[in-house]
Structure 1
Amino acid sequence: MRKFIFKDGNRELLLPVTPPSFTITHGIKIETIHIHTLGDVNIAGYGTLAAIKIDCLFPAQPYPFSLTDENPYTYVKTFQKFCDKRKVIRFVIPNTPVNLPVLVESIAYSERDGTHDVYATLTLREYRQLNAVKVEQSGTENQPRPAAAAIDKPTAYTVESGDTLSSICRKFYGDASLYPQVADANGLTNPHLIFPEQILNMPDKSQLVSGR
């Protein structure tokens, strides 16, 4: 009999009845952008977080296939607590690749046939931890700030998904209308056709304005 295990620290919660099925969605993010004269283009991104759906039975009757005689609403309350407290737990199905940290997104439950058995649907989302970067203190935070000087902007820019040449010019120069000059500086025959990871040279704004 396959076991569905939820680990909360040193505590393990085992579903009392093996679910008849479960669904795990795995994929990547695909963004569709429209490029003038070319049409729609799909840009493949990185992996999305797994989505998991499990239909459960929390029995109130002493069925021979039940692994416990626990009150069914004990399970309901436990998963509600995981959900409300945004608790990260580990979901494991032994002898399968399923072993990952998850959040309980929702639990829907009902009684159907007068047996007091509880039928529930668990929706889980894979959890991915964000690691904060520690910034070392320079020891000069209390020193007076020097007079403002000209900011050296990068001379190169790597195109990101969703960028357009005009949006990049707005970001760099505060003037989206400079995109034709930037296109010329990079030898682009079509200023509307740029791709993620493409590296653009960004001339000084004074050179672009004088070249109008």
Structure 2
Amino acid sequence: MYLFFMDGVQLPVAPPKLKTKIKNNNKTITLINEGEVNLLKTAGLTELSFDIELPNAAYPYAAYPDGFQAATYYLEKFERLKIDKEPFQFIVTRTKPNGDLLFDTNLKVTLEDYEIIEDATNGFDIEVAIELKQYRDYGTKKLVVKAAPEGSKSSKKVATVTNRSSAKTPAKSYTVKAGDTLWGICQKELGNGSKYKEIAKLNGIKNPGMIKAGQVIRFE
């Protein structure tokens, strides 16, 4: 079973195909008397693309953890993701029929493009082509330059580099709310979403993609 989540919202119908393009920035140059060589660079940003079905009826094969939502609910969500200009978490969980967890996809991404397709053969349902791109956090350090104290014989200036920390004391537990994902909870409460597997094991959660509102998650 495949479950797809975009910014904590589960898509009602898992796409039949997910294309993941892992890019690189390697550069080939030609050296005199040596021929071509390949300079290895840091990997480029991963690109993901898939087509999704957004039903306008509660079909038996569609999943709605918090109750049926029409296609407009998801279209409005996609629009907000574009307007807000903020990265979000894209998660795909994969499980065998017996419930065993397979590998998963968990990336911070941006919504690059999406195309809404209305086709008479789909009845009242909507099809959307989605393109995502991996997002890497970045930032700069703050350089503070201070002049020598007044009256000092030295004319040298002192430069210091400061880093800001927003770390907070982690909570001991959390009660799941509608729309929450385990990754999002770990990111919010522990400052590290990648700990979701560790927390799932601690709480005896076999499938990290299946948590319910009202469920209490322990962190220690």
One-letter code of the match for 2:76? K
Conservation of the 8 A alpha-carbon contact between 2:54 and 2:125: yes
**Counterpart for residue 4 of structure 2:** 4
In structure 2, list runs of 5 or more residues that go unmatched.
Answer: 94-100, 149-154, 156-220
**Counterpart for residue 118 of structure 1:** 126
**Counterpart for residue 195 of structure 1:** none
- Offset, 1:106: 0.7
**Counterpart for residue 63 of structure 1:** 59
Partners of 1:72 and 1:139 in 2: CA distance: 61
In the TM superposition, what are the counterparts of 1:190-201 in structure 2 within 5 Å? none
**Counterpart for residue 87 of structure 1:** 86
Partners of 1:86 and 1:33 in 2: CA distance: 37
The 10-residue stretch of structure 1 (13-22 or 91-100) with the greater mean CA deviation from structure 2: 91-100
- Highest CA radius of gyration, 1 or 2? 1
Q: Secondary structure at the match of 1:124?
A: strand
One-letter code of the match for 2:110? L
- Offset, 1:71: 1.8
**Counterpart for residue 43 of structure 1:** 39
Conservation of the 8 A alpha-carbon contact between 1:60 and 1:116: yes
Partners of 1:109 and 1:58 in 2: CA distance: 10
One-letter code of the match for 1:41? V
- Offset, 1:74: 2.2
TM-score when normalising by structure 1: 0.59
Partners of 1:109 and 1:124 in 2: CA distance: 15
- Offset, 1:58: 0.4
One-letter code of the match for 1:112? D
In the TM superposition, what are the counterparts of 1:72-83 in structure 2 within 5 Å? 72-83=71-82
In structure 1, list runs of 5 or more residues that go unmatched.
Answer: 141-145, 147-212
Q: Secondary structure at the match of 2:131?
A: strand
- Offset, 1:48: 1.1
In the TM superposition, what are the counterparts of 1:134-153 in structure 2 within 5 Å? 134-139=142-147
Count of aligned residue pairs for this structure pair: 139
**Counterpart for residue 127 of structure 1:** 135
Partners of 1:83 and 1:127 in 2: CA distance: 14
Q: Secondary structure at the match of 1:53?
A: strand
Instruction: Tell me how large the CA RMSD over aligned residues is.
Output: 2.3
Q: Percent identity?
A: 22
